[in-house]
Amino acid sequence: METPNALDIHPDNAVVWHDDRLFLLDQRVLPQETRFVACHSAAETAKAISDMVVRGAPAIGITAAYGVVLAARAWISSNAAADWRVGIGADIEVLAASRPTAVNLFWALERMRRLISVLEAADPVPALLSEARKIHEEDAAANRAMGDFGAELIQGPTDIITHCNAGALATGGYGTALGVVRSAHAAGKVRMVYADETRPWLQGSRLTAWELAQAGIPVTVQSDNVAASMMARGEIGWVVVGSDRIAANGDVCNKIGTYALAVLARHHGVGFMVAAPTSTIDMSVTSGADIPIEERDPEEVLACGGKRIGPNGVTAHNPVFDVTPAALVDCIVTERGVVRQPDAEKMRALMAGV
């Protein structure tokens, strides 16, 4: 574990290329511990993604793109340098196998693969690094644009519920759902953000709460069971969440528990907003039913804070994402604009740039 002096512990520094290495702010231990993990190879990068050192759909994609740079560098400085283009295919497969649901991972790897197929330079590293940096910077810029679009939809001041962490930590900077919250807060439209704690990894109570507190945005943590009663009291104006993959018909896959929030929001007349860049939209899957849902180790549910709480001999099921049908989504906010009441035709038009 290393934390070079040049690296600030800051939500915008979740993924940093520094000193020819990849540094990841360790999201497994934030905010109680603040440290970076250095990755020197594609395999280490893939393991960091699987182990949740870095998480959040866009951040995973950015990290994997830098992982390809690390792989290229290893090949170029090996005895088999001439075969780098063939060899790197296996490294890309290792990165692709790190997590199954967030499509940004496959989107970023495909972008790197496309570049590799046309690269003519003997040393591919500078071009691949520049592409990874571009993916990173474009994501941060997309989040700023989404922030503005999303904030415009919010009549404030109001209270907002968010789920999981869709902030700077989960992206190239600024955040998707939390980007909307940041922009809305800057416009004086946010009274309070209620961060669902998000069992079992507690992305809400650990990461969202830390990130918003750092930004001076009022945040209150609540257990995952509280949203219904908050909505019933009429205190919530919007639910704002991110996404790991949006299907061609507008179905939204996101952190487990998002679907329940969408049902509750519709029942109580609360707005349900999804903020996600177009790199999260997967036009190759017709509906949410075709999105692979990651199942993680039952121990993540049977333990809390590293301490086992479930009885021995009992198992748990641990699907970590769910699908919210498009019919329950009021709007999908992207860097290209807002899709209200999403359906297949509107998603096609968005992606075709109409």
Q: Does 56 bind ligand MRU (CB under 6 A)?
A: yes
Query: In which region does residue 204 sit, left (phi positive, over 0), alpha (psi from -120 to 50) or beta (all else)?
Result: alpha
Among 159, 196, 244, 322, the active-site one is: 244
Considering the complex, state which of residue 63 and residue 203 has its C-beta at the smaller distance from ligand MRU.
Answer: 203
Q: Tell me the CA distances in angstroms from 203 to 55, 80, 128, 194, 240, one per residue in order.
A: 9, 42, 31, 13, 15
Query: Binding string to ligand MRU for residues 254 to 293, with x set by CB under 6 A, is what?
Result: xx--------------------------------------
Considering the complex, state which of residue 128 and residue 276 has its C-beta at the smaller distance from ligand MRU.
Answer: 276
What CA dihedral angle connects 180, 185, 190 and 192, to 10 degrees? 90
Identify residues 150-169 at the interface with ligand MRU (CB under 6 A): 164, 166
Q: Does 320 bind ligand MRU (CB under 6 A)?
A: yes
Residue nearest to ligand MRU (CB): 242
Looking at 53-61, 64-72, 84-92, 210-218, which segment touches ligand MRU (CB under 6 A)?
Answer: 53-61
Q: Residue 19 catalytic?
A: no
Residues near 167 by beta carbon (within 8 Å), at least 6 away in sequence: 11, 56, 174, 175, 176, 177, 178, 179, 207, 208, 211, 212
- Name the minimum Å distance from CB 102 to ligand MRU: 6
Tokens standing for residue 71:
């792989």
DSSP-derived pairing of the beta strands 245-247 and 281-282: parallel
Q: Which residues is 206 bridged to in the sheet?
A: none
Q: Which of 45, 98, 203, 208 binds ligand MRU (CB under 6 A)?
A: 203
- Name the minimum Å distance from CB 254 to ligand MRU: 5
Considering the complex, state which of residue 87 and residue 325 has its C-beta at the smaller distance from ligand MRU.
Answer: 325
Tokens standing for residue 165:
């962490």
Distance separating alpha carbons of residues 161 and 168, to the nearest angstrom: 17
Q: Does 334 bind ligand MRU (CB under 6 A)?
A: no
Q: Tell me the CA distances in angstroms from 86 to 77, 83, 89, 280, one per residue in order.
A: 15, 6, 6, 28
Interacting residues toward ligand MRU by CB under 6 A: 55-58, 102, 164, 166, 170-171, 176, 203, 242-244, 254-255, 320
Tell me the catalytic residues. 244
